[in-house]
Amino acid sequence: MNILYLDSFELSFQFESDKGNAVCEKISAFENIDGVISFFRQRLRFDLILYNPHIFMQLILNEDYRFEKYLADLPVRCLPYSNPKNILPIAQAIEDKLIDLFPLQNNEVEEAVDSYCGKCVLVTGAGGSIGSELVGQLIDNRVSKCICLDLSEFSVFNLKRKLASRDKDLVSVYVGSYGDKELLATIFQKYDVDLVINAAAYKHVSIMEDNPYAAFTNNVSNFLELLRSAKVFGVKDIIQISTDKAASPSSIMGFSKFLCEQLLANANRFMDADFRYSIVRFGNVVGSSGSVAPIFVDNIKNSHKLNITHRDVNRFMMKITDAVNLILLASRIRRNETYILDMGQAYKIIDVAQTMLKYTNFSFDETMLNFVGLEKGEKLSETLFTDFEKSSMKKKDKVFVLKYTPDSTFTDEELASIYAGNVPSLQELFSRIKL
């Protein structure tokens, strides 16, 4: 068997001699990665290629180069390593290049330049993946003040580190619940808030299936308190970040987000408010905490199999930057509408797993996957909007726009009960719409 070893910019070629012995000879040495690339452009043929993980890391980080392009269909394997930490920089490199691993649509929406200049914005859930990116973009848009609220002390710690180089006078950070009436009063009394963007929520489907009261308390009751406080202190502009799981919900989490959409859309009628609102629905945001790609990266780092619920499960995917741009666009318009990015075709999760494994091993083997079955509340496929919503839907550039149209999901009596804080009845409502 002819084997090529790629190790420390040095190539060795092992072959079988006339006497049947394995002979290994050094055939090339390179000063840098360009020499390695040049070598593979010759399309030399081998039975097996073994590579050093550290060299591989540099190969995949080369922006103008794709290693496997020059390897045809050869079997490729990573050299054995005695220290498992050797794989960490590779996985980290993949994590840093997640967006490049599969071709998401180029969904740059119209920029909201200067729309936030001089505005005071409260961002709840500011320490999350989307929230923290949003805060950075708002600062770039020259807001007068960005007030960051998050329940997680650790998330706030990470957010403050991320913002360490920014102007400290532009940011105020609070640890606490966005449903804390006293805390909200403190914030609204201290700052003249122009806009509230709610990125706070429990988002994990399986966890919320086991904790329905927590889902409704955090996602619904806290949101209602946020609306009440905003009304009391004269804040009229509200942005609610939702999810594709709110369309025809099959889970407690999805239903709680659907209910929040309904509560915001009906708030002016039932709360005697005068809100100008926008709702933004997202698919799976690549690279955000809890999304599938970072979970796969973590499994790769620890040499674990990749768990996939079902061979045919698929999800809509978008970049964090696209998600934030859509929020900024929606909050600039505020026409009491729902905005959904056209994310193209949904991605099969098994294809995402195969792509990520290919970038660590180049030889996909289904034994690396573990099919665990759909969890309670999960769907094989998500939908961005319901058939009922399609009737009032328009599309502008790459954004679907839904004008709220009342449906028969809730009676006025049920909505009035929910606005009054009757949380325990919500599980009964969810059970009814699932029938």
Catalytic residues: 245
- Residue matched to tokens 């942005």: 239
Q: Residues of 59-94 as b/e, b for ≥16 C-beta within 10 angstroms?
A: bbeeeebebeebbeebebebeeeeeeebbebbbebb
CA max distance for the chain: 92
Q: How many helices (H) and strands (E) does the chain have?
A: 18, 20
Rounded CA separation 282/242 (Å): 6
8-state DSSP, 233: T
Rounded CA separation 170/334 (Å): 24
- Residue matched to tokens 């993946």: 129
Rounded CA separation 231/246 (Å): 25
8-state DSSP, 176: S
For residue 131, give every residue at least 6 positions away whose Cβ sits within 8 Å of its Cβ, in sequence order, or none.
123, 124, 125, 148, 150, 159, 199, 200
What is the pairing mode between strands 276-282 and 337-341? Answer: parallel
Rounded CA separation 302/408 (Å): 49
Under DSSP, is residue 337 helix (H, G, I), strand (E, B) or coil? Answer: strand
Instruction: Compute the CA torsion angle 185, 221, 127, 110 (nearest 10 deg).
Output: -100
Q: At what angle do helices 153-162 and 129-140 cross, to 10 degrees?
A: 30
**Amino acid at the residue 155:** S
8-state DSSP, 375: P
Give me the residues paired with residue 121 across strands: 146, 195
For residue 342, give every residue at least 6 positions away whose Cβ sits within 8 Å of its Cβ, in sequence order, or none.
105, 107, 395, 398, 399, 400
